[in-house]
Amino acid sequence: MKLNNLDLNLLVVFNAIYTEGSLTKAGEIVGITQPAVSSALSKLRSYFDDPLFIRVGQGVKPTAKTENIIVHVQDALAILQRSLEQPDSFDPSVSSRTFRLSLNDISEGRILHILMTKIHKVAPNVKISSYYTSRESIQHALAANEVNFAVDPFPPSESEIKKELIFEDEFVCGFRKDHPLAKEKNLSIEQYLELDHIHISGRRTGGALVDNALSKLQLDRKVILRAQHYLITPEVLKNTDMVLTCTTAFAKKHNLSYKTLPFEVAPSQFFLAWHESNDKDPGHIWLKKLIKDAFTEAKLK
């Protein structure tokens, strides 16, 4: 196979199909019709002499050959993209660059208002796009420069992904100000287990760090509400006797009373992750400092 026999635009489509797992969604990302995506895939299949993707349900899954070559394709696309996007210098006062962040709801609530205030003061035309990227997709998204920074408790372990601990805080038991627990001096483990708990998770099943700690003691808490987003919990707590195991910073920010947990739990940690190829990009360096400053400021409030 010779490179001059391949239209490089097909690799952009190839990566979009892999990332989205759907020809229709890939077309939306690339900006072409679904038939055009199908035509591109047909050409790629002929070039690589492989199906590349197998239809499963409403989407597609990559073949073994695709899994073997996708990282190299994404690295090549990332290099080309950065060569077009990254100038030798970065002037925030005149830049209109768009930076893409992967943040969950609690990280958005924690720092976006601080970060945008900082950016608006010195870079009025810089744009931020914040959306959650699944943990399984972060490595590919960073490598392909679809995401510039990701904030996650469990960043990718691949060597080309750089990461830095950006937030750490202790877990506490949070509840409304006039909750019966507010009159107690301490919270016993018996009381904790009797309480009605809210558990936040994007998954249908499975526990959190606190549940892992309890399981080591052969104990279980009583989860009454399982929801996807932390930011809905203050309203729920305000009108019920439920409790939420959350960070101290979250409890303070949302005016919750809280008690120290009566058992040991590893602290909440969030890491800032990025692809090593962005290390020398002036704009990337500039935004990384602002993100770090925003997390530091959020912890102090």
The overall average pLDDT reported for the chain is 90
Structural domain boundaries in the chain: 3-83, 98-167+269-300, 171-266
What percent of the chain lies above the pLDDT cut of 90? 66
Q: What is the pLDDT of residues 222-267, one digit of tens each?
A: 999 999 889 899 999 999 999 999 999 999 999 999 999 999 999 9
CATH of the domain spanning 171-266: 3.40.190.10
pTM across the whole model: 0.68
In single-letter form, the type of residue at position 220 comes to D
Dmax (CA) for the chain in angstroms is 75
Q: What is the pLDDT of residues 183-206, one digit of tens each?
A: 999 999 999 999 999 999 877 777
- Burial category of 256 from C-beta neighbours within 10 Å (exposed 0-12, middle 13-18, buried 19 and up): buried
H helices of the chain, where?
A: 9-20, 23-30, 34-48, 64-85, 105-122, 138-143, 189-194, 209-216, 233-238, 248-253, 282-300
Q: 98-167+269-300: CATH homologous superfamily?
A: Periplasmic binding protein-like II (3.40.190.10)
Predicted pLDDT of residue 75: 81
Predicted pLDDT of residue 82: 64
Confidence class for position 126, pLDDT limits 50, 70, 90? very high
Class of domain 3-83: mainly alpha
Checking if the pLDDT of 213 tops 60, the result is yes
Checking if the pLDDT of 1 tops 60, the result is no
Same fold, 98-167+269-300 and 171-266: yes
Confidence class for position 84, pLDDT limits 50, 70, 90? low
Q: What is the pLDDT of residues 72-81, one digit of tens each?
A: 888 888 777 7
